[in-house]
Every structure is written in structure tokens, then in C-alpha cells.
Amino acid sequence: MNTAGILAEDARRREARAAAEGGYDPVEGRGCCGPRELVDTPVEGLPRAFVPRAMTADPSYGSVRHDTAGWRRLRCRHDFEYWCAACVRIKHKTLGHDVPFVLNAPQRRVAAMLEADRRAGRPMRMIMLKARQWGGSTLVQMYMAWIQSCVRRNWHSLICAHVKDTAASIRGMYTKMLAAYPSELWDGDEPPRFRPFERSINVREIAGRGCRVTIGSAENQEAVRGSDYSMAHLSETAFWPATPRNSPADFIRAVCGAIALIPDSLIVMESTANGVGSYFHSEWLRCKAGDGDKHAVFVAWHEIEIYRLQPPDPEGLAASMNAYERMLWDAGLCLDQIYWYRRKRAEYADAAQMMAEFPTTDTEAFLNTGRGVFAPEAVERLRADCTVEPRRGETDGHRFRDDSLGGLRMWRDAEEGARYVAAVDIGGRSSASDWSVIAVMRRARLPGERHEVVAQWRGHTDHDLLVRHAENIARHYNRALLIIESNTLETEAGGDPNLFVLSRLAERYGNLYRREGFDTATGRRTERIGFHTNRATKALVVAELIAAVRDGSYTERDPEACNELLTYEQLPNGAYAAKCGCHDDIVMTRALALHALHAAPLCHGASIPVPPPVRW
């Protein structure tokens, strides 16, 4: 499209946008969610309004048709958007003073989803990836406040954040709302206010409604367990700490499991992005794919009205858009949004920082974490071939037995004539230790084909049992080349028993990866089982994996492998490691397998590569 065409299309888009935004009026009911009907009202200055059909179907409707206060209270009970405008005041982000709470476009989208479930009698469940400055937390908290103030009595809620101060700040919205609540619209037995509940500093009760509001934090999980909740607002869950005793996943399951699957029950998990690999990220991907119980909601920066800036030279902007700006234009944005993005982008040293603060997509929000080794775009291309539902079972080395509790996940069974590598990264024995992983990769058969991950075992077990698992899996896959990262077995205290494990393996299974070294005392070359990782050899195999991910030379099947790739970092000293709190066990099996497929290992203690005694 030429410059003149862009300017003409921009004018059309802005006109359509203005018509859509100008048509919203929660008092008149125009542009509001849900089925509505136009009715006469007893309210002065509002002769007619579009009200929810549930309101006119309410048995009380006939008795309040000529009672202004009664009619408005009944409407508040059925019309969340009207209640927000009539009963809630919030601080305006740019004007600085309190104004009626009129939902913006993203808030209306979220409210419509919640209301669709509520009207249908479905439990309300949502996971929300937040952008800046659109009021997601405010919307969720006021929706919960509306249910407790107008819809339900004795309906208790929990506000839990990563730190208690954040939860208290969220509840502060509630306190402010009650303090300014119009008395003529209050539907309670006492004036609207919070009062203490049994001397608890964390629990408040809404006077006249019997509804309790509890605040808590992920730092003190025991304080909020075991209570009676019907609604939960779980805030900034991507930042909840994981410890050996408490994990975000376990805590959230405990809280959410106690909330019954009944009408008007609600769970909203929301957070800004904090990289990948966390419970929040995994749950987001699961729900986004339609496999979870929650609606996945992401609000892009351009949905927020304040992120617009009129360009002084629209024609010059249209003629000078870069590739990313052109992508924004093709996605339907107006020039004032693109110009705002250009000006804001100039504040950041690189595009990744901008994407982290003002993401256009959920992928941008999660992936731009700073010191990543693997290009996010390349990892997302790998993710396209991943599946979370492989076969599960065990193998005795000859046949695969399906078992839903089995530790071996199989995406593709052994094929006649195919050649495989089984790579082993050894972790700890306890559940608090690093994982042990056995990954099987099929070698590409023809030029232009890709190697493919076909199976994986992951768990915690004794090292001799782990080696036995690896042997059985390698036998099943056509006597695969078995490459074991042997550092743990070689350096563990009392290393002789562990080295004995490898020597016994060599007696039973011959197709083992062996590295060659040099004994300075005898002047002879030596041969040892396994791959020894040091700073030089690790840099070598990671570099090979970086190239494989970049070039797409292998097919990944496990989405958790992609998560690990995205949290793998290069530290300031040049070393490689997983991001704090994350794992790299799966990453290392891919690196080892590809290294065995593609290159000779470095001679232990030497500086030149030597041909490995690989036996296919």
C-alpha cells in the first residue's frame, strides 16, 4: 500500500475506532455486555436505558418500576458495568483526581467473559497476563466486590499476592470503594464499611453483608490455607517464590482445590510476565491451548487508550515505517498508536527491553528476559512441533508397555533401520534435587531431514537404577548409542561405587559413548565411559545446540524443553547456566545427543578433537 493509501486507511480505522469507543455508556446501557432490553426508567434525566434481561426477569422488578432508589439498587444487583459507574470511584491515571469507574475497552472485554460464565451458571476461572496501565487488578477486585456487595451474602474471598504489601494494596481499592459507596444504593443491613473479624489483622468483614475478605502472601502460605473461600484473586503469581518446602503450584492447587465448582465461584490468577519456565507460564500455555480450566486473557499495549500519540507528520511516518512497525500496521493499528510505539521505543536500548515492558503478543511478554542464550523466535518455532500428550509407560529393553504412571514418555516408537542416540543427564536422588533425564533422539536418515526427539524419561532415582533405565531404553531403540554425562558419577563422594556402576554397564551393553584422554604419567592414551563436562566441553556442546536451535536442524517434542531453552543464560563470567530457580537438565540431554550425532568430543585433558569410538 502506498503512502496515500495508508493515510486513507488510517482515517477509516480511526473513524471506526471512535465510533466503537464513543458508543459505550454504562448508565444508558449502550455497548454493555450481555443480553439487554430497552426499558422506561423512573430515574430523573434517564428516561430509557438498556438493562440486563436478568433484571426485568427478577420477581422484584414490577414493584420497583416507579421507585427510583429501588430500581437503581435492583439494577446494581444485575448490572456490573452500571454498578461500577454508579458506586465506585477511582483515581484517573492522567487527571489525578477521582472519577466514576467507567470500564475501558480491555476491562469491558474481561468483564464480558466473566459475566458470560456467571449468567450461564458456570464457575468463573481466568488466567490473565497483564500489560501495564490498563487496570486488570482493579477490574478483578471490583468484580469480586460487586458480587459480595450486591449478588451474594456470606461469600468469602481471598486476595493473595507475592508479598503481603501488594495484597494489602489491592484490598485498599475495596476499602476506598466502601468508604465512598452511595448510601441510597447500599444493599446491606448496616452502613458499608470494613470491620475487623475476630481480631485478625488479615481478615475483614463487610458490615451488613457477612462477606469476609482475607489477604495473604506466597511468603506465608500456611496463613491462608484451610479457610472457607468462594473467590480468590491470586496476584503476580509469576513472582511467587519456590522453595524446597513450598511451590507455587502446590499452594495454588491447595487454595483453588478448596473453592467449589459452583455458580458465582471465582478464581483469577493474574501476573505480569517474569520469563518462562514458571508455574504461571506453564499454566498460561496450558490454558491458552484450551487444555486448562481457565480463560487465558492477554491485553496488548495497543488496546490501552492512553498509548496513542498524534504524529506531527503522518505522511512521513507512513513512508518510514520499519519492519516491526509495518507488522503493527498490518495487524490493524492506527498511525497514532504506531507513532507512540516509535517514540517510546527510543527510550530503550534494544527492542527486547521494549517488548518486555510493552508487549504486542503474549510471546513477547514472556520471552524477553535479558541474558538468554537461545533466540526466542527460534525456540518458538521448535515449540510448534511439541505435544503434551505422548504415550506413557515403561520398557524392559524389548517392548514398550503402556502405563499412565510410567516414567517414560514416548512420542515415536523405535522404527526398523533407524539409528538413535540416548543421552543421560544425571541429577539427584531426592525430589528436592535436580532432575535426571534420559532423552532419545533419532538420527536424520537423509540430507535435509531433521533429527527428532522421540522419547524421554525424567525423574529422581538412585543412580544405579537410572543407569538401568537408560540401558533398557537404549536397547528398546535399536541398541542406541548411549552417552552419559558422567561428572556426577566420577566426582561424588566415595566415587568407586559409582564408577563401578559404569563398568558393570559396559559389561552388559557395548554401544557406549567413550571419550579418549591422555595419561601424563604413562604417556598413553586412555578411554573412559561417558562425557565429562568442564567449562571447555560445555561451551562446545552448548554452541552446537545454539546452532541447531537457530537452524531448526532437530525436531523437539517436549514443551518443557522449550521452556528450559528460554531460561538458559550466559552469566557475566561467560559460563552457561539455567536462570535462578529453573532447570537445564533437558537442555543438556539435547546438547549431548546432538554432539554425539554431529561431532567428535574433545579429548579429556587435551585441546584437539579426536575421533570417538562410536558404535552404531
DSSP 530: S
pLDDT by residue (tens digit) across 73-130?
999 999 999 999 999 998 876 667 889 999 999 999 999 999 999 999 999 999 999 8
User: 367 Cβ partners below 8 Å, 6+ apart?
Assistant: 276, 355, 376, 379, 380, 566
- What pLDDT score was predicted for residue 221? 63
Please state the rounded mean pLDDT for residues 591-607: 62
Is the Cα dihedral 317, 321, 325, 329 positive or negative?
positive
Does the pLDDT at position 298 exceed 70?
yes
How many CA atoms within 13 Å lie on the side-chain side of 379?
A: 25
Question: What's the mean pLDDT in 260-274?
Answer: 93
pLDDT in tens, 363-375: 888 876 556 788 8
Rounded Cα–Cα distance for residues 205 and 195 (Å):
5
- The Cα 440–Cα 475 span in angstroms is 11
Residue 548 confidence class, pLDDT cut points 50, 70, 90: very high
Q: How far apart are CA 557 and CA 578, in angstroms?
A: 20
Q: Provide the b/e sequence for 572-587 (b: ≥16 CB within 10 Å).
A: eeeebebbeebbbbbb
**Are 138 and 299 contacting, i.e. CB atoms less than 8 angstroms apart?**
no
User: What is the value of pTM for the model shown?
Assistant: 0.75
Q: Are 53 and 129 in contact (CB under 8 A)?
A: no
